[in-house]
Amino acid sequence: MMIVDRRPNPQGKSLPNRQRFLARVKAQVRRAVADSIDRRRVSDVGADEEVKVRVAGTGEPSFRQAGGADGDYVLPGTGTLNRGDRIPKPQGGGGGRGREGADSGGGEDAFEFTLTREEFLDCFFEELELPRLTRTEIGEAILSKPRRAGYSISGQPTALDVRRTMRNSLARRVALRRPDGDELAAAQQEVEDAVAAGDDSRLAAARTALDLVLRRIARIPFIDPLDVRYARHERVPLPAQDAVMFCLMDVSGSMTEHMKGLAKRFFMLLHLFLERKYERVHVVFIRHTERAQEVDEDTFFRSRETGGTVVSSALTEMLRVQSERFPPSAFNIYVAQASDGDNLHADIAAVTSLMARILPLVRYFAYVETGQGEEERFGIARGLESNLWGTYRAISEGGAPQLAMRRLSELRDVWGVFADLFRKDPLGATP
């Protein structure tokens, strides 16, 4: 009898099975994830919360008999039943009871399960990426990662490749005819036999032979330093993909709570996305009314402010930060801007000229215009193009493939607009 303690074994043995299962129900998982994002409050997006996924259609078919046929069932009774007693059939059971009853019906195989946060985010940002992220410059901090590259004759003891080493050793031993255990045993046996036979000349010959075998064994080592091989790794440099994302948000008085909620939610998604997918993306938060300032993450998402709207202030601030810290030769530059579209009429010219400077610098400029939701649903505001939208549309039509524009008016659309803007094929993202 043997007792084995399996508890320290690696956990999560069924993880690969789970991944296969998740891949199978991907569509349903994604829908649940999108739903859950819409239900959450701004501050909760990405928070530690379980997402329940209800899946169906993962049934495993098999040939089985339908219920409802004739049958006899011997069951544990109550002691009060007598021949001829009639018991109404259970509702919906389709006739069969007991063992058979449990099997009939139930073809639908729906159940709920819970996603971990990791799985949730993975699924969430799968198939999204920053468009046109290209290798900009192999900077001073060169990233590299090790890669297997054959074998070498020197290396660290931990990298010793036993298989290779033993293979060489065996080949050398065979080539040099190092006597193996059988040969040694045979020679020794011969000496013993000769001693037993009392034949002196045979003994002398046997002794010489044994001596030769022993000397060969001593001369030819089992493992020679020549045999030893180490696994070799070489470091391959990785191209640096330094990127910076500027988040510009309008927080002026014309932005209603609803609009701010939309914008914040959008940026939260963006922030979560960047944090998750890119280790080396810098994020700069800029909010503006008629003045713009760079703020930290917390202020950006949580604090309130009101005032007028001058969009060019944000663009100026962005350019200032960019020229100070993020040269376009070293960084992929991205901009995401959210606004209700209101802007001072006098500001249009400034915006246009600033955009003319900004657009050549950036890989992608995503503009999200938040709407009032209700108004649009009832068609009140339809057809009216906002000031900023018009400005950007003119720029875009003048040939600016980096500029993408989307309208966003309902909470439930946040994820759709976001996914649309950052879909893997950047060409599809430009209107």
Minimum distance, C-beta of residue 215 to another protein, in the bound complex (Å): 43
- The residue (of 52 and 167) whose beta carbon lies closer to another protein is 52
When binding is defined by CB under 8 A, the residue of 44, 111, 135, 356 that contacts another protein is 111
Minimum distance, C-beta of residue 171 to another protein, in the bound complex (Å): 25
Q: Which of helix, strand or coil describes residue 115?
A: strand
Q: Give the relative orientation of helices 117-125 and 26-39 as an angle to the nearest 10 degrees.
A: 100
When binding is defined by CB under 8 A, the residue of 84, 181, 198, 379 that contacts another protein is 84
Q: State the number of binding residues for another protein (CB under 8 A).
A: 63
Instruction: Write out the binding residues for another protein, residues 127-156 only, by CB under 8 A.
Output: none
- The residue (of 111 and 222) whose beta carbon lies closer to another protein is 111
Q: Which of helix, strand or coil describes residue 415?
A: helix
d(CA 106, CA 85) in angstroms, rounded, equals 29
CB 258 within 8 A of CB 373: yes
When binding is defined by CB under 8 A, the residue of 41, 47, 48, 83 that contacts another protein is 83
Minimum distance, C-beta of residue 8 to another protein, in the bound complex (Å): 10
Q: Is 118 in the site for another protein (CB under 8 A)?
A: no
- The residue (of 97 and 423) whose beta carbon lies closer to another protein is 97
* Continuous segment of H or E residues that includes residue 314: helix 311-325
Neighbouring C-beta atoms of residue 56, cutoff 10 Å: 11
Q: Give burial (CB, 10 Å; 0-12/13-18/19+) of 101.
A: middle
* Two tokens, residue 387: 């000031």
Closest CA to 385 of 337, 338, 428, 343: 343
* Two tokens, residue 171: 């080949």
d(CA 283, CA 274) in angstroms, rounded, equals 8
Instruction: Write out the binding residues for another protein, residues 181-240 only, by CB under 8 A.
Output: none
- The residue (of 26 and 291) whose beta carbon lies closer to another protein is 26
Instruction: Write out the binding residues for another protein, residues 88-107 only, by CB under 8 A.
Output: 88-89, 95-99, 101-102, 104, 107
- The residue (of 70 and 182) whose beta carbon lies closer to another protein is 70
- The residue (of 101 and 139) whose beta carbon lies closer to another protein is 101
- The residue (of 13 and 219) whose beta carbon lies closer to another protein is 13
Which residues, 6+ apart, have CB-to-CB distance to 409 below 8 Å? 262, 370, 371, 372, 373, 376, 377
Return the range that interacts with another protein (CB under 8 A); candidates 83-91, 201-209, 244-252, 405-413.
83-91
Minimum distance, C-beta of residue 127 to another protein, in the bound complex (Å): 18
Instruction: Write out the binding residues for another protein, residues 23-82 only, by CB under 8 A.
Output: 23-24, 58-66, 68-79, 81-82
Q: Is 6 in the site for another protein (CB under 8 A)?
A: yes
Minimum distance, C-beta of residue 48 to another protein, in the bound complex (Å): 16
Instruction: Write out the binding residues for another protein, residues 282-301 only, by CB under 8 A.
Output: none
- The residue (of 93 and 401) whose beta carbon lies closer to another protein is 93
Return the range that interacts with another protein (CB under 8 A); candidates 111-119, 312-320, 378-386, 420-428.
111-119
Q: Give the relative orientation of helices 26-39 and 15-24 as an angle to the nearest 10 degrees.
A: 80
Q: Which of helix, strand or coil describes residue 410?
A: coil
Minimum distance, C-beta of residue 305 to another protein, in the bound complex (Å): 44
Closest CA to 161 of 230, 77, 242: 230
Q: Give burial (CB, 10 Å; 0-12/13-18/19+) of 120.
A: buried
d(CA 331, CA 38) in angstroms, rounded, equals 33
- The residue (of 106 and 157) whose beta carbon lies closer to another protein is 106
- The residue (of 16 and 198) whose beta carbon lies closer to another protein is 16
Q: Give burial (CB, 10 Å; 0-12/13-18/19+) of 214.
A: middle
CB 236 within 8 A of CB 144: yes
d(CA 161, CA 117) in angstroms, rounded, equals 39
Minimum distance, C-beta of residue 122 to another protein, in the bound complex (Å): 15
- The residue (of 60 and 298) whose beta carbon lies closer to another protein is 60
Q: Is 328 in the site for another protein (CB under 8 A)?
A: no
* Two tokens, residue 340: 């209700």
Minimum distance, C-beta of residue 88 to another protein, in the bound complex (Å): 5
Minimum distance, C-beta of residue 16 to another protein, in the bound complex (Å): 5
Length of the chain counted residue by residue: 431
Which residues form the interface with another protein (CB under 8 A)?
1-7, 9, 11, 13-14, 16-24, 58-66, 68-79, 81-89, 95-99, 101-102, 104, 107, 111-114
